[in-house]
Structures are given as structure tokens and as C-alpha cells.
């Protein structure tokens, strides 16, 4: 006896096909399904739907010609066969194979939504991880499709931290708490903030560019990079706002500093870009933010540097974890890291590096006044900052896998522009 589905008064124009499709899903190709219903257009709807879906509708029983209201077998509320009253239409659908053929050769983009595979197929396109992917879709034009090229086990945890620690520049900083700042010190703040904006714009562009080249199967890394770009966008906003808090214009932008930052934008490799930006550059930048927070002349400067430093610590953590992950899988990659540092140093050998105005502004901030003894203290503070940056770079390089002597040599080659 064929299977039966009763649509009652439901037409295909209101979802009747869902019940028919569900009933057919449990049948093998060639099996029959009797469709009953009272909707006046059921026959027409069912015929058109079967043609579109690849099923076959059997011809009407000739004995019923001219008698669309003839009683036919149907099912009652309890599922048992029962006679139908006037107006009931019955049609028989033979299950086809077109819908099955459509999914022949389909593969899952990972066994589950948490299964991060070693290699993501471009043929999966934008399919969700763990989804069954219908063949024939357009391949995704991305460069990085291998887990080992982009992954770090810490990425999901860092992304969770990033989402939990989002903040609003308008409310996270008490902009009215600026208080009085000596004019010369304010000038120094404006110059340093101008420099920070320049660096953060580079740090915003790099993860943004990475996103378009990364396979979305590795969504934790993609989400983390998106959060990183959002972080940097906020940093650009708060540093600009602090610079203009008491001034109408920003400070100076040195050609050497911009040249240094643009070498980061030119790096096409995921790991090398992460290494140069986050392990070396943002790591040193983090030390700079701590320095500025410690010597902040007002609460607003202290707040913006504190908030930015909290975000930057995550960026550095991912860069270090990812680079170490790659080196553990391929110790020979240390040579590529070394070459990247040396190549960048050679490109920047003839540039001025950190412009004098920024260096002097840091001295003034640390000094707090123009007293000779204060300036001497400020100068020593900036020298200690550079030593702190060097020690931090060496520590991170050693963690990644460099011997201590190589770590010291590579740290010394890092750009004088800090980032």
C-alpha cells in the first residue's frame, strides 16, 4: 500500500509542499505517495512542483474523469484509512531521484561545527563549518586554506576575551576629566598622539587585508582579526580625539616613520606579517603605551593609553602564539622569520626612523617640566623605554624558538620607529 499524506485544506501556495517533501524524504526512488487534500488547485500545484523537483505525477484514474468529488481512500485524524467526503482530491506521486542526484558527491565542511580541518577546500565557498556542501558552487578566491598557515590554539579564547572587553570611546573615557596641562606638555601629547594614530592606521589595515585572503572555515582566526581591526579603529578614534582635545590641528608625520610602517603593509605572507606586526611591532608599541600611561599628564591620556594597551596585549598574544605554532610544526621556518627581519632592516637602513619630534615629546612627557634635572630624568626614562622594548622583543623571540644570541641580534635590527 502506498504512503499517504493528507494536506486537508492546505495549498502549495501556503506551504503544502513542505508536508509532501517531508513524506517523500522517507521513501526510496520509485516508491509512491498518495497526496490528498481539499484545496481546489492542488492538482495544478502538485503537477508543477513535481516537474520542478524531479518527481513524477501519475495520470489521473480515468474512472474518476468528470467526478473530482468522488470519494477516495484517505486517512483520518488517527492515521487510519477512512472514506473522504465530497471535494477531496487525490494524486499519486512517484518519488524521483533529481533531488538525490543534486547532492551526490556532496561533502561536509568538517564533520561538525567544531571540527577544524587541516585543509579547507575552496570549493566549499562560504559554507558554514560542518555543513553539507552541494557540489557545483563557485570556488572561493582566498589564499590561505591550510590550518597550519593561520592557526593558533589560543585564538578562540582570545576572541571570547575580545568580545567581552569591547568598549565605547564615548563612554569608556571621561573626556571632561582632562584638567589643566602645561602648554608645552600638551604640545608633546599632541605630537605623540599623532604618531600613535599613524601606527594604528597601519595596524588597522593589516588585519583588514588579511581577512579577505583567509578561508572562513578558520572562523575563529577570522573573527579575531575582525575584532583586532575594530580595536585599531577605536584606537585611531581615541588618539585623534585626545590630540584635538585642546588643539585644532595634529602634529608632524615623518617620512621615515611612514616608510617603516609601509613595509608591514607590503608583507604578503600571513605568518611573516603577523610576526613583524604583532610579535615585534605591537609588542614594542605595548611597552610604549605602558610608558605613556605611567607618564600621562592628565586622566584622559591615562585612560586612552590604558584601554588601547589592554587591546594590544591580545594582538601580541595571538601573534606570538601563532608564530610559535608554525615554528613548532616547522622549525625551519625560523630562517624565514630571520630573513624577514633582516630584509626589513635593509630596506629601512637609510631612513631616519623615529622622528626627532616624537622622541623629544616622549622626553618632555616623562620630564613633566623644563627644569634641567627633570629633562635629564625624562631622557633617561626614554632610554629605559628603549631597553624595555628590546628586552620584550628578545623574550618573545626566545619563546618562539630563537636562541638567546639570535634573539638579541634580531631585536637590535628592529626598526627604530618602534612599530
Burial of 257 (0-12, 13-18, 19+ CB in 10 A): buried
Query: b/e map of 337-361 (b: 16 or more CB within 10 Å)?
Result: bbebbeebbeebeebebbbebbbbb
Task: State the pLDDT confidence band at 59, using cuts at 50, 70 and 90.
Answer: confident
pLDDT at 61: 57
Mean pLDDT of 85-107: 87
Please, are residues 216 and 286 in contact by the beta-carbon 8 Å criterion?
Answer: no
Q: What is the mean pLDDT of residues 359-364?
A: 97
* 241-267 pLDDT tens trace: 999 999 999 999 999 999 999 999 999
Q: Is the pLDDT of residue 353 over 80?
A: no
196-221 residue pLDDT tens: 999 999 999 999 999 999 999 999 99
Query: Nearest 5°: phi and psi at 142?
Result: -125, 160
Q: What's the pLDDT score for residue 113?
A: 95
Residue 72 has pLDDT above 90, yes or no: no
Is the CB of residue 411 less than 8 Å from the CB of residue 398?
A: no
CB 74, CB 4: distance < 8 Å: yes
On whether the CB atoms of residues 53 and 82 are closer than 8 A, the answer is no
Query: Could you give the CA distance from residue 361 to residue 378 in angstroms, rounded to a whole number?
Result: 10
CA distance 13 to 292: 66
Order of strands across the sheet that contains 3-6: 3-6, 32-37, 89-94, 56-57
pTM here? 0.83
Q: What is the CA radius of gyration of the chain?
A: 33
Percent of the chain with pLDDT over 70: 94
Residue 18: the pLDDT is 96
How far, in whole angstroms, is CA 257 from its chain's centroid? 28
What are the structural domains, with CATH classification, of the chain?
A: 3-101 (3.30.110.40), 104-140 (no CATH), 147-413 (1.10.620.20)
CA distance 279 to 309: 14
Mean pLDDT of the chain: 92
Whether residue 124 contacts residue 217, with contact meaning beta carbons closer than 8 Å, is answered with yes
* Residue 76 pLDDT: 46
The phi and psi torsions of 66 (rounded to 5 degrees) equal: 75, 5
pLDDT in tens, 122-132: 999 999 999 99
Q: Which residue has the higher pLDDT, 179 or 232?
A: 232
Q: What is the pLDDT of residue 102?
A: 86
Q: How far apart are CA 227 and CA 236, in angstroms?
A: 14
Angle at 209 between CA 204 and CA 211, to 5 degrees: 100
Q: Are 281 and 226 in contact (CB under 8 A)?
A: no
- DSSP of 221-234, one letter per residue? HHHHHHHHHHHHHH
Averaged over 337-354, what is the pLDDT?
90
Is residue 90 within a helix (H) or strand (E), and if so which, with residue range?
Answer: strand 89-94
Amino acid at each position: 500500500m502506498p504512503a499517504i499524506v493528507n494536506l486537508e485544506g492546505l495549498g502549495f501556495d501556503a506551504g503544502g509542499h513542505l508536508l509532501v517533501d517531508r513524506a517523500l524524504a522517507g521513501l526510496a526512488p520509485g516508491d509512491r505517495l498518495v497526496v490528498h487534500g481539499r484545496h481546489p488547485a492542488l492538482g495544478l500545484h502538485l503537477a508543477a512542483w513535481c516537474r520542478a523537483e524531479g518527481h513524477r505525477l501519475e495520470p489521473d484514474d480515468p474512472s474518476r474523469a468528470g467526478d473530482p468529488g468522488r470519494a477516495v481512500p484517505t486517512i483520518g485524524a488517527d492515521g487510519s484509512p477512512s472514506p473522504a467526503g465530497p471535494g477531496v482530491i487525490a494524486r499519486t506521486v512517484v518519488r524521483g531521484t533529481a533531488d538525490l542526484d543534486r547532492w551526490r558527491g556532496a561533502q561536509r565542511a568538517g564533520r561538525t561545527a567544531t571540527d577544524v580541518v587541516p585543509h579547507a577546500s575552496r570549493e566549499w565557498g562560504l559554507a558554514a563549518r560542518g555543513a553539507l556542501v552541494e557540489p557545483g558552487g563557485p570556488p572561493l578566491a582566498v589564499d590561505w586554506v591550510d590550518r597550519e598557515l593561520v592557526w593558533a590554539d589560543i585564538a578562540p579564547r582570545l576572541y571570547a576575551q575580545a568580545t567581552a572587553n569591547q568598549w565605547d570611546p564615548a563612554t569608556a573615557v571621561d573626556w571632561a576629566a582632562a584638567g589643566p596641562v602645561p602648554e608645552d606638555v600638551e604640545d608633546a601629547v599632541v605630537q605623540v598622539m599623532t604618531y600613535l594614530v599613524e601606527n594604528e592606521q597601519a595596524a588597522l589595515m593589516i588585519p583588514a587585508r588579511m581577512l579577505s585572503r583567509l578561508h572562513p572555515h578558520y572562523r575563529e582566526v577570522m573573527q579575531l582579526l575582525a575584532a583586532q581591526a575594530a580595536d585599531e579603529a577605536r584606537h585611531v578614534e581615541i588618539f585623534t580625539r585626545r590630540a584635538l582635545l585642546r588643539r585644532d590641528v595634529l602634529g608632524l608625520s615623518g617620512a621615515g616613520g611612514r616608510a617603516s610602517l609601509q613595509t608591514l603593509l607590503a608583507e604578503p605572507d600571513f605568518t611573516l606579517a603577523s610576526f613583524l606586526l604583532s610579535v615585534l611591532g605591537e609588542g614594542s608599541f605595548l611597552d610604549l603605551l605602558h610608558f605613556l600611561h605611567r607618564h600621562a599628564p592628565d586622566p584622559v591620556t591615562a585612560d586612552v593609553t590604558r584601554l588601547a594597551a589592554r587591546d594590544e596585549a591580545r594582538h601580541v598574544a595571538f601573534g606570538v602564539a601563532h608564530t610559535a605554532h608554525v615554528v613548532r610544526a616547522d622549525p625551519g621556518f625560523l630562517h624565514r622569520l630571520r630573513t624577514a627581519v633582516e630584509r626589513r632592516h635593509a630596506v629601512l637602513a637609510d631612513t631616519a626612523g623615529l622622528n626627532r619630534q616624537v622622541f623629544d615629546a616622549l622626553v618632555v612627557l616623562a620630564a613633566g617640566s623644563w627644569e634641567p634635572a627633570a629633562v635629564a630624568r625624562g631622557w633617561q626614562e626614554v632610554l629605559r623605554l628603549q631597553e624595555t622594548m628590546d628586552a620584550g622583543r628578545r623574550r618573545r623571540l626566545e619563546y618562539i624558538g630563537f636562541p638567546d644570541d639570535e634573539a638579541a641580534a634580531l631585536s637590535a635590527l628592529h626598526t627604530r620607529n618602534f612599530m
